[in-house]
Structure 1
Amino acid sequence: MKNATQSVLFIDLLFKVSRKLRNLLDARIRQHGLTLARALTLSALKDQDDFFQKNLAEELGIEHATLVRLIDALEEQGLVIRNVAEDDRRAKRVTLTPEGKKIVEEIETYAAHLSHEVMSGIDGKNITNAMGVLEHIADAVEREGRS
């Protein structure tokens, strides 16, 4: 029974830490007039020169209609450009504007700083062990989701 209690306490702590980190990051993102969903969309676009909308929705794990609303808002803010694909007029490509790239870099710089600050004082071995535990949990969650 002790292991079951430890497991519950561990997952509870995981949720608390995740929520606190998300709140800190969300506050910084809001300074740029963005939501977390919009920032994640920009970040995905940074990693690839351009995306077809359909592929971007899959990458983000969201419905296409949800992505369309996100892209509409980001386009209105001047952070992305949406173009019709040359080879298929039904398909749309999404790319970052220079301003979008600048904002992504600022957010990612802050995220790296935040990571460094909260992880300072923890040796590499403990971080490696924690990553192994979290990867195991992520795999178990994925398996549970498929069953």
Structure 2
Amino acid sequence: MNKQELPLGMVVGRMMHEMFRVLKKRTGEIAETKLTIEQFGLLYAINMKNEDVIQQDMANIMGKDKSAIYRVIDSLEEKELVRRVVDKNDRRKNFLMVTKKGEAVIEQYLEIEYKLIKELKEGLCKSDIDTFYSVVNHIRNKAEKL
């Protein structure tokens, strides 16, 4: 079986694994606050929402169960990157807010990621990159409909 016969999910998975390995190494060398990819993903997702973010919403967005998300939120709160604010109208709801420190960490991580992506795209022409994005978007859109 040659590489083009490997299942697409395996090829993409290997690519993501290698990218995350390098990203983890580089953020570990530079960033003052160490985060797992999952912690950064959640912190970034909270920051990207333009409206109030509820813990349950994050569980749905991240495709994880509530208890797993709560553990990640707890760790982000311990690092002072997010804070929970209890809803005045419904004490069962906790809104999530990214702190100033959290915003600074996001900026630091994104800078490292952008440099890595630029480095990984070296040697590829614009049409190759456009084709890559087109194929990835096509597959994602088809998968979302299944």
Q: How high is the TM-score relative to the length of structure 1?
A: 0.83
Q: CA offsets, 1:62-84, max 9 Å, x none?
A: 11111111111111111110010
Letter in 2 for 1:135: N
User: 1:15 deviation in Å?
Assistant: 3.0
User: 1:6 is matched with which residue: 4, 7, 20?
Assistant: 4
**Contact 1:53/1:93 (8 A) holds in 2:** yes
- State the 1:13 CA deviation: 3.8
Give unmatched runs, 5+ long, in structure 2.
Answer: none
Moved more, 10-19 or 112-121: 10-19
Distance 1:48 1:15, change over 3 A: closer
Contact 1:29/1:35 (8 A) holds in 2: no
Partner of 2:80: 78
Name the counterpart of 2:44.
43
Q: C-alpha distance in 2, partners of 1:112/1:122?
A: 16
The amino acid of 2:18's aligned partner reads K
RMSD in angstroms over aligned alpha carbons?
2.4
Q: How does 1:1-147 map to 2 (within 5 A)?
A: 6-8=4-6, 12-30=10-28, 31=31, 32-48=33-49, 50-142=52-144, 146=146
Q: Which residue identity lines up with residue 42 of structure 2 in the other structure?
A: T
Separation in 1 of the partners of 2:3 and 2:22?
A: 29
Separation in 1 of the partners of 2:123 and 2:24?
24
Give the whole-Å Cα distance in 2 for the aligned partners of 1:48 and 1:137.
25
User: Percent same amino acid at aligned positions?
Assistant: 25
> Structure 1 regions of 5+ residues with no counterpart?
none
Cα contact 2:81–2:102 (8 A) shared by 1: yes
Distance 2:94 2:56 in 1: 8
**Contact 2:27–2:112 (Cα < 8 Å) also in 1:** no
Q: Is the 8 A contact 1:51 1:94 kept in 2?
A: yes
Q: Are the counterparts in 2 of residues 29 and 39 from structure 1 also a CA contact under 8 Å?
A: no
Q: Distance in 1 between matches of 2:39 and 2:12?
A: 24
Q: Supply the distance in 2 between the matched residues of 1:28 and 1:68 (Cα, whole angstroms).
A: 27
CA distance in 2, matches of 1:23, 1:124: 25
Decide whether aligned partners of structure 1 residues 18 and 5 sit closer, same or farther in structure 2, where only a CA change above 3 A counts: closer
> In 2, distance between residues paired with 1:12 and 1:48?
31
Q: How many residues align?
A: 142
- Measured at CA, do residues 29 and 45 of structure 1 come closer, stay the same or move farther in structure 2, by a change above 3 Å? farther
Instruction: Report the Cα distance in structure 2 between the residues aligned to 1:56 and 1:12, rounded to whole angstroms.
Output: 27
